Structure 1
Amino acid sequence: GDYFHEIAKFRAFRLLVLEIAKLYDASFDANNIVIVGNSSLWSKSLYDPNVNMLRNTTEAMSAVLGGVDAINIEAHNASYEKPTRQSQRVALNISHLMREEAYLGKVADPASGSYYIDTLTEKLLDAALLLFQTIESEDGFLASFKSGGIQSLIQKTRDQKEKLIAQRRSVYVGTNRYPNQQEVINPEGVQVNHDTVAEVELLLPQRATLQFENLRLKTEKYVHDGGTRPKVFNTLFGNLAMRKARSTFAMDFFGTAGFASEEQFFNSVEEAIQGAIQTDADIVVMCSSDPEYQEHVAAFAKAFKASEAKGKKLILAGFPGEFEAAYTEAGVDGFVHVKTNAIQALSQFQADLEIA
């Protein structure tokens, strides 16, 4: 989550308890409120798991700076396998480092006086109090939970977050951005949550990266079962800066699903067309600048489709804008750019390649 937002959230929660107590004419010592923070399952990832250690650290720091009384830090690999002694030791040492080296336990409220955090705390408090009052006016939490109202609110937030993750605007290093192409995980060795039977609808906790992980694991299973890893061939031509930037983007994009990528620069469009035709890759990606796309894509696509390259997908790296219809008519099969929903696009590529 957002570091400062998490700090403010804990501070707002303590104030919220006091506000609610006032509404019910209850009085108690604020010092008797004990808040325990737990590291997040949502933020952890299966791929590039060592990044989870950093996520655990920032989560623990935000909890302490937010005023929790105790923290429980799960091992960085606990969400997908049985924690090892080493991973448990690392998790335990995070609190030791904060207490013994960073001295975070020496200051009562380190965030006090920060205009940004104080303002954020007040906004969260006001929003939470309004939500609490709304739920109470609708017969309370239990009734809302049984009717699915609480789940609906949570699902709405989850959907918004998952959309940003699918578009790769919310970055998870090693999963939906900057994947390690050399990292291979056997799908059979991954621990998964089993369905839970309940009388009311439940939203089970999950990793934010689960959709991307499932995509990549599907590719790994396909390869593990004897299939050939999907290959992507980036044909670079024209403007030096744009061709390289778009090739890097495409390699990153397809890499999140476990596709292997390679790139090659060509001195002319004619050479690029021949390279695209001759490659044994499943997907060919054109990488150049917008002006050069407008000048050459139609000829490139028509020559490519008229050749013996049948069965290969021809993709354009970049946002086509007003030229999308023209490019598609010429023979371009798809586009990858910053607005693309990667989950939907990559799922379709897998389906086209019969990766079940």
Structure 2
Amino acid sequence: MSREPLPIAAEFPPPSLDAWRKLVEKDLKGKPFSSLQSPLEGGLSLKPLYTSEDVPSPVEPPGVAPYVRGTQPLGHTEGGWTVCQEYAGPDVDSTAESLRTDLERGAMGVWLLLDAPYGVDVKDAATLKRLLAHVPLERTPVHLEPARDVLAPASLLLQVADGLGIQRAALKGSLGIDPIGALARSGATKADVAATLREAAPLVTSLLKEAPGLRALLVSSRAWADAGATPVQELAWAIATGVEYLRELERAGVSPNDAARSVQFALSVGAHFFPEIARLRAARLLWAKVVAASGGSPEAQAMTLHARTASATKTKHDPWVNILRATSESFAAVVAGADSVSTTPFDEPLGTPDEQGRRLARNTQLILRDESSLNRVADPAGGSYYLEELTTEVARAAWAELQRIESLGGMSKALTQGDVARAIAESVAARDKAVRTRRLPIVGVSEFPHLGEAPVRREPHPTPVSTTEGGSLPLRPVRLAEAFESLRDASDRHLATLGVRPRAFMVSLGTVAEHTTRSTWIVNALSVGGIEADEHRDLKDAAQVAESFAKTGSPVAVISGPDAMYPEQVPALTQALKARGARFVAVAGRPGDHEAAFRAAGVDLFIYAGADLVQLLKTLHQQLGVA
């Protein structure tokens, strides 16, 4: 047998992008080529194909400014990224026990949300010492994220370390001085941003000498990410916050080089896997450009990046699907080269996570590291035409938004003047429309709901109290699933009060082959609102349908079947149903040219793909007596 290589590809002419496009346009049969592009939030879109022409120049290797491919030459191949659990439990002692358990079982770092009702209530050094009783500070990174008083916790951590005789040079983590984040999260700071940073300037300088592993400043995007900002907005506003910190610290006598080396970034990672990878890579690029323009050294241009799985994507109903969501988001953060990652426990939307929720979150990262070996490759995304080009596009879009914020006078002014709230409101409205029409589906809530799921109970989170202190209203956290979850909650209350869920009579017309697709869709759509479909098939005529309906006692009837049968049967069925007591008749599918005739016969509602399903289900709830 010949061992000569068989160069099959060499026997064919190399394909060209133009030739491919001509074939695609032929197959589109008149549709525009743009129909193959997938729109993203922030005005971006994904092309159907990326080639070497999209990345004409080589990207710098990992460890080289502007650090698109990571800040370390070997990535996280030596030891991996830091598995960093987040904690916000209201009880200090139980949270301290959670810290002990998690650190013994694989967690490597601690991220503490502080200030009740947002996080752990730490008022003094003694309380913080109790909280960190089982945390070996000399080898465990500790990160603080206060919601209100951003200066006091920094000194408390240092007091605890000094009291335990731990050298400051051994400390790692961040102290969480983030006045803009506090302004956005709680609507109040004890001093304005400039005054806070002036007061923090001596600490920034001293820590660079005494505790180089401890970063004084934090840029957290949590407030606007949780409130519904687009990924591009979140990135741009985080960089804008960093710019303002550099500027104010320079006025306080700290060089941009030293200030940049004192900043820790913390970004949320959402559901769109590849765009989120590109966004985190773009974050390093933009920060490097900012620091370089400010006169910072290549070393100072390296971003220290913490990534957390997004809260907005998680659901209260069927919360087990949150495990899959958090896995995808953690995977994206790791592939993008985050230095530390926090995985949200699946039960976090329900209240304070329990040990099972924290264990599953922790083990998600351990599996990615130890079984998927994601720490063995430096920049797995590097060299992908798709991701390299998308990184550039995301960076350009975020830079344009950064310039807009700068034209307003900076991030703190954009917050206090209401520009950020206005922009978020527009983003939330657009996203809410996509959710309500199920163009943005939510598994377990707006798609494939499980009405028989066993409820998961947790101690509820305390309710934050709004304040206008400091000249700004707080940004309210929202989750994508809230509108649909309110419908399910109403159904659950109906079940608890009356012993049954709201139920609608449903007749499926035609043969099984003719009605199965639409009937299955409508049953699923009703279940989204917690409405059970009492489905009836093989009924011969309108009289039999009406007779079956009368026996159910339901005030609502739904007609489902093939479009071809509707013109003849829908008017007769509707009239027969209403004659036997139906207060409300809905038809599955778009009515088209027959809408006037159907409504004249008594049809009240049409349920179809692309409609505002939340509003349709609210209407059905009203008719079914669901409070």
**Aligning the two structures, in what range does the TM-score lie when normalised by the shorter sequence?**
over 0.9
Letter in 2 for 1:37: A
More deviation in 207-216 or 268-277? 268-277
User: For 1:286, which of 556, 559, 562 is the aligned residue?
Assistant: 559
Q: What is aligned with 1:303?
A: 576
Deviations 1:93-138 (A, max 9, x none): 1111111111111222100111111111111000000100111011
Letter in 2 for 1:78: E
**Secondary structure of 1:44 counterpart:** coil
**Alpha carbons of 1:181 and 1:117: their partners in 2 closer, same or farther (altered >3 Å)?**
same
Deviations 1:310-337 (A, max 9, x none): 43x2110111122222211111110111
Q: What is aligned with 1:275?
A: 548
Instruction: Report how far residue 27 of structure 1 moved.
Output: 3.3
TM-score of the two chains, using structure 2 as the length reference: 0.54
Identity of aligned residues (%): 29
Q: Does 1:182 align with 2:452?
A: yes
More deviation in 197-206 or 321-330? 197-206
Q: What is aligned with 1:164?
A: 434
Equivalent runs, 1:146-157 vs 2, <5 Å: 146-157=416-427
Deviations 1:251-278 (A, max 9, x none): 1111112112221212533333433344
Q: Does 1:204 align with 2:476?
A: yes
Are 1:36 and 1:71, in contact at CA under 8 Å, matched by a contact in 2? yes
Q: What is aligned with 2:598?
A: 327
More deviation in 169-178 or 276-285? 276-285
Q: What is aligned with 1:45?
A: 315
Q: What is aligned with 2:380?
A: 110
Q: Does 1:256 align with 2:525?
A: no
**Alpha carbons of 1:351 and 1:203: their partners in 2 closer, same or farther (altered >3 Å)?**
farther
**Alpha carbons of 1:145 and 1:214: their partners in 2 closer, same or farther (altered >3 Å)?**
same
Distance in 1 of aligned mates of 2:435 and 2:337: 29
Q: Does 1:73 align with 2:343?
A: yes
Instruction: Report how far residue 165 of structure 1 moved.
Output: 1.2
User: Which blocks of at least 5 consecutive residues in structure 2 are unaligned?
Assistant: 1-270
Number of equivalences: 353
Q: Does 1:349 align with 2:349?
A: no
Distance in 2 of aligned mates of 1:154 and 1:15: 24
**Secondary structure of 1:315 counterpart:** strand
Q: Does 1:191 align with 2:460?
A: yes
Instruction: Report how far residue 203 of structure 1 moved.
Output: 2.4
Instruction: Report how far residue 195 of structure 1 moved.
Output: 4.5
- Please state which structure has a larger fraction of its residues in helix: 1
Distance in 1 of aligned mates of 2:559 and 2:343: 46
Q: What is aligned with 2:393?
A: 123
Q: CA RMSD in A?
A: 2.0
Distance in 1 of aligned mates of 2:601 and 2:464: 46
Q: What is aligned with 1:245?
A: 517
TM-score of the two chains, using structure 1 as the length reference: 0.93
Q: What is aligned with 2:288?
A: 18
Distance in 2 of aligned mates of 1:191 and 1:259: 26
Q: What is aligned with 1:173?
A: 443
Q: Does 1:214 align with 2:486?
A: yes
Are 1:230 and 1:282, in contact at CA under 8 Å, matched by a contact in 2? no
**Alpha carbons of 1:192 and 1:346: their partners in 2 closer, same or farther (altered >3 Å)?**
farther
Distance in 2 of aligned mates of 1:189 and 1:254: 27
Are 2:491 and 2:626, in contact at CA under 8 Å, matched by a contact in 1? yes
Are 1:242 and 1:289, in contact at CA under 8 Å, matched by a contact in 2? yes
Are 1:65 and 1:109, in contact at CA under 8 Å, matched by a contact in 2? yes
**Alpha carbons of 1:303 and 1:105: their partners in 2 closer, same or farther (altered >3 Å)?**
same
Which one has a bigger Cα radius of gyration?
2
**Secondary structure of 1:324 counterpart:** helix
**Secondary structure of 1:316 counterpart:** strand
Are 1:319 and 1:337, in contact at CA under 8 Å, matched by a contact in 2? yes
Select the structure with the greater relative contact order (CA < 8 A; seq sep ≥ 6). Answer: 1
**Secondary structure of 1:180 counterpart:** coil
**Secondary structure of 2:304 counterpart:** coil
Are 2:502 and 2:531, in contact at CA under 8 Å, matched by a contact in 1? yes
Are 2:351 and 2:459, in contact at CA under 8 Å, matched by a contact in 1? yes
Distance in 2 of aligned mates of 1:108 and 1:178: 38
